[in-house]
Amino acid sequence: MNYIIMDLEWNQSSTGQEEVSKVLPFEIIEIGAIKLNSDRKMVDEFSELVKPQVYHRMHHVTRKLIHLQMEQLEHGRPFAEVMEQFREWCGGDYIFCTWGPLDLTELQRNIRYYRLEPLSDGPIRFLDVQKLFSIAYEDRKSRRTLEYAIDYLHIEKDIPFHRAFSDAYYTAKVLACMEEKVLGNYSYDVFHLPRDKASEIHVVFDTYAKYISRAFDDKTEILEDRAIMGTNCYLCHKGLRKKVRWFSPNGKHYYSVSYCDRHGYMKAKIRIRKAEDGAVYAVKTEKFITEPEMEALRDRQEKAKRQRKGRRVSKNRNRQNRSDTGLAGSVSS
């Protein structure tokens, strides 16, 4: 298997193009990529400018970041042609690698806009090298810039940053430094969601488990789905009783804690997200936590209850005040 380390540059709409920007917020203007073999050695490279077909004025943010002029892009080829060549160059057995999670989504959005054959009809597994850097060298949560990682690893800066090819080149250099075991922490791009229940994503990593659902019409359907809201130990698959029942401090994230007599307290978190077509889906993560962490979540649950109760009391009081004001007005008349 080869590693395709890809980076994109894109332009965005200027004033007066709000309608098209809803469909294509970012038009790709450059594709750069490095191919590593299974030993993570560089074996090939790809670099192409894309001739703009939607946004013919360079946005000031784009110009500042990548130092490209619109006149240079006129020498590029249309996206459909570049994409066809890029697919052929990638070959048949590879995994995409990017710095951060955005490039694959924007690539697929451009593919859809031009009505080209999709990369996949479901989620795409890929390596987010920015995340891998945090797992390998820092706290698993922080997200650093590519230049920070290059400095941290003492990699020579032999070409300028902030062009598609150069950023792909440096991302490949970072990936090549990592231990093999880190590469098991892959990510999923969900521009296309799982088609049905059978194709939903269930994966167990070294410190947590992750589940990505199919599409639902609304949040209520997700919260009523027993498979999503149920809790089973992801190691021994035993059904668990909840120590902290599901609660949400914000209406988007939901938490619970269950207890496994073999593996301890298991925290579950559900994030409800909106899909490209307006449907919603769930991303559920589960990990084992300590008893103090469980108690902290229980305290957070109690705080959420108090806040919810306070909002209800305030709402009822305001309703009563409006009612009293209306009654007083009718008497005075």
Q: Do 57 and 182 fall into the same domain?
A: yes
Q: Do 225 and 146 fall into the same domain?
A: no
* CA neighbor of 95 nearest in space, from 27, 162, 148, 37: 37
State phi, psi for 114 to the nearest 5 degrees. Answer: -90, 10
Q: What is the number of structural domains in the chain?
A: 2
Q: Do 57 and 120 fall into the same domain?
A: yes
- Pick the last residue of a domain from 158, 188, 218: 188
Minimum mean pLDDT range among 8-17, 26-35, 80-89, 192-201: 8-17
Q: Do 160 and 223 fall into the same domain?
A: no
Q: Which domain holds residue 279?
A: 196-298
- Pick the last residue of a domain from 188, 213, 247: 188
In this prediction the pTM is: 0.86
What span, in angstroms and rounded, lies between the C-alpha atoms of 11 and 302? 47
C-beta atoms surrounding 268 within 10 Å: 25
Q: Do 238 and 266 fall into the same domain?
A: yes
- Collapsed DSSP state (helix, strand, coil) of residue 44: strand
Angle formed by the axes of helices 129-137 and 164-177, nearest 10°:
30
Q: Do 227 and 184 fall into the same domain?
A: no
Read off the pLDDT of residues 50-103 as tens digits, 9 standing for 90 and up.
999 998 887 767 776 676 778 888 889 999 999 999 999 999 999 999 999 999
CA 82 to chain centre: 25
Which CATH number characterizes residue 67's domain?
3.30.420.10
Mean pLDDT for 219-246 is: 95
Residue 152 placed within a domain: yes
Q: Do 86 and 134 fall into the same domain?
A: yes
Task: Specify the pairing of strand 2-12 against strand 26-36.
Answer: antiparallel
